[in-house]
Amino acid sequence: MTYSQKVLMRISRLGSLFFLFLLLASGLPALSQDSNSAAPPAVPDSATVSQAPGSSPPANPASFNEVVDRVIQREHVFLAQMRHMRPMVETYLQDLKSDSDGNSIPTKDQYFLGRLEMTEGPEDVSFVGRPGFGHRMLDKLTSVYSLKFLPLGFAQMVLLDTDFQKKYYKFTFVRREFLGEIRCLVIDVVPREGSGTGRFLGRMWVEDQDYNVVRFNGTYYPHPRTSYYLHFDSWRLNLQPGMWLPAYIYSEESDLKYRLGKALHYKAQTRLWGYDLKGLGKNEEFTQILVDSPQSVKDQSEAAADATPVVAQRMWERQAEDNAVDRLQKGGLVAPSGEVDKVLQTVVTNLLVTNNIDLQSDVHCRVLLTAPLESFTIGHTIVVSRGLLDVLPDEASLAMVLAHELSHIVLGHPFDTKLAFNDRLSFRDEESFQRLDFRRRAADEEAADTKAVELLKNSPYKDKLGTAGLFLKALELRAPALPNLIRPHLGNGVAAGKSVRMSTLLASAPQLEQRRTDQIAALPLGGRIKLDPWSDRVELAKAKPVPLISAREKMPFEVTPFFPYLTRFSTAGPDRVALTAPDRK
Ligand SMILES: [Zn+2]
């Protein structure tokens, strides 16, 4: 054993973090394969991998064994990086059962939104005021779900192993494979006997330049006597130079027996984003927002010297609007303004122009980054959730959603200006749903529905409202099984109880035919909007629609697996953002 190995081993008893930093600081090569703690190589050196170009120091590994050392070293670097991150984490889960055709359909759902804290292992801070799936909340979960989400729940699935060491595992080289543009080594990972519970069992994909894990697929093993581990497929994206950070986790079980006669049947998507939320570190949870945004300064200059009372009122409302939108963006809930907003604004402009409406100030559109289907207005800003944009089948149904919100603005429905006072914006991000409320009265909702139909009937969408109505029919059908998808957190839902929004459009819609593959009433979640988990920017997915083979592939409002197209980080532009599962229009 060399001197440096002895030092490393001694330091490692102080804690894995110190161990890691030493390794980084000294730039040492990974622990050599003959250190006494290391397991014998799972694959003979004949499985040697060729030298990868463009690799960073230390020198390229010469054998599979050295590759494994490098992977483990990189995984420890990853853990250290994650301890400084507080990404948003959202899990949406649908319980399934088989229908009369044997197809799986959702029967109920679960939603969790929080911020992941990794300082002492994965934990989460809940936004939605309900127990999360993380272990800290575990005691409070009800009996059924405590069985479902042991031990650390979905947040755990960002990690391969909190104590990833060679001696605990057998590694077997499988093949090389491309994931998107990234050439990967595919390696099977099996825990050794006696290495403790909860080790990773499955397969990992390792990019062949720096040997970062970019995907791992499997479960934890063996499970403790009283709990079970779920299966998952966990993906990381190259969001910054040298950083591959968790972005997507898909999990499903079709027949996990966990109690006499009870089996678990579900599918779930977990997304992470908000890695680059500046000023939201541990000591800066309280956010201050400036009164004078560039926008309101500009308004002031246009309004001559002194504002008339009417103009002052408008400026006051604009201040509250800007404050609220900024606060939501800073808290990781609203995307920075971008390309998708412009698409939405074009639809709004179509509605305004064809109805000869002049609002004297621009209407802005923004994207709420969460999955539940909701839309609302903050002053003259229309906010639509990512989940809602995902499931809308076409532009006419998008116009329907926007027409409703635009009607609130056109009708001058009241807007609570309490957010014009800055103190009201000082709260923890986790309190956002309690502190911010953009819900409308039932009477205003009804009036907006009526006005929206009027706007649509004068618009370029007037002959295409059949699909909009069809979407509402599909929503009406699925809503009872998916209360957490349709429950809004900030505004009004698109469906409430037994009634859906704009129900007059139902009457003119064609019959909903679930078995026809050419009638698409609503899309699965995740097909339309791409989210950059680092910057929170969104754009429209460029996936080409594919013809459906069977009605089973329609999957309205459902979650589907992730297959992001992996690329290396470049500063070229937003194109690096990965696509979710390919989808049709
Ligand atoms: Zn409304």
Kindly tell me if the per-residue pLDDT of 30 is higher than 60. no
Distance 316 CA to ligand 1 centre (A): 22
Say what the pLDDT of residue 196 is. Answer: 85
- Which pLDDT value is given to residue 54? 44
User: Ligand 1 centroid vs 237 CA: distance in angstroms?
Assistant: 37
What ranges in 246-394 are assigned the alpha helix state H? 294-302, 309-330, 339-354, 386-391
* Cα of 401 from ligand 1 centre, angstroms: 9
Cα 376 to ligand 1 centroid, rounded to whole Å: 6
Give the separation between CA 93 and CA 282, rounded to whole angstroms: 29
- The pLDDT assigned to 57 comes to 52
- pLDDT at residue 526 in the model: 87
pLDDT category, 36, cuts 50, 70, 90? very low
CA of 438 to the centre of ligand 1 (A): 9
In the reported structure, the alpha carbon of residue 128 is separated from the centroid of ligand 1 by a whole-number distance in angstroms of 21
User: Could you tell me which residue, 422 or 184, shows the higher pLDDT?
Assistant: 184
- Show the tokens assigned to 469: 């109505």
Residue 226 to residue 245: CA distance in whole angstroms: 31
Query: What percent of the chain lies above the pLDDT cut of 90?
Result: 49
Interacting residues of 571 by C-beta distance below 8 A, sequence separation 6+? none
pLDDT bracket for residue 298 (50, 70, 90): low
Q: What is the pLDDT of residues 366-375, one digit of tens each?
A: 999 999 999 9
46: DSSP letter: G
Indicate the range of 12-21, 55-64, 120-129 predicted with least confidence: 12-21
Most confident residue range from 136-140, 261-265, 291-295: 261-265
Residue 569 has pLDDT above 90, yes or no: yes
Cα 526 to ligand 1 centre (Å): 24
Say what the pLDDT of residue 5 is: 35
Helix residue spans in 140-285 (DSSP H):
143-148, 153-156
What separation in Å is there between the alpha carbon of 403 and the centre of ligand 1?
A: 10
**What are the tokens at 451?**
């006005």
The pLDDT confidence band at residue 159, using thresholds 50, 70 and 90, is: confident
The pLDDT tens digits for 118-129 are 766 566 566 655
> How far is ligand 1, taken at its centre, from the CA of residue 445, in Å?
5
pLDDT given at position 6: 32
Per-residue pLDDT band at 541 (split at 50, 70, 90): confident
146 CA to centre of ligand 1 in angstroms: 37
**Which of 278, 207, 282, 216 shows the shortest CA–CA distance to 246?**
216
Confidence (pLDDT) at 287: 45
Q: Which residues contact 488 (CB under 8 A, 6 or more apart)?
A: 372, 373, 374, 376, 439
Distance 414 CA to ligand 1 centre (A): 12
Q: Give the whole-angstrom CA distance, residue 161 versus residue 147.
A: 21
Render pLDDT for 148-158 as a digit per residue (tens, 0 to 9).
Answer: 443 346 777 88
Least confident of 36-45, 56-65, 108-117, 254-263: 36-45
Average pLDDT, the chain: 79
At 122 the pLDDT is 60
Whole-Å CA distances, 239 to 102, 194, 490, 529, 566: 40, 36, 29, 18, 11
pLDDT confidence of residue 130: 44
Q: In what order do the strands lie in the sheet with 123-126?
A: 123-126, 104-117, 88-98, 262-273, 243-259, 232-240, 213-221, 199-207, 182-191, 169-179
Q: What is the model's pLDDT at position 223?
A: 76
Whole-model pTM: value is 0.80
Asked if residue 414 has pLDDT above 70, the reply is yes
Residue 385 CA, ligand 1 centroid: distance in Å = 14
Kindly tell me if the per-residue pLDDT of 44 is higher than 50: no
Does the structure show a pLDDT above 50 at 477? yes
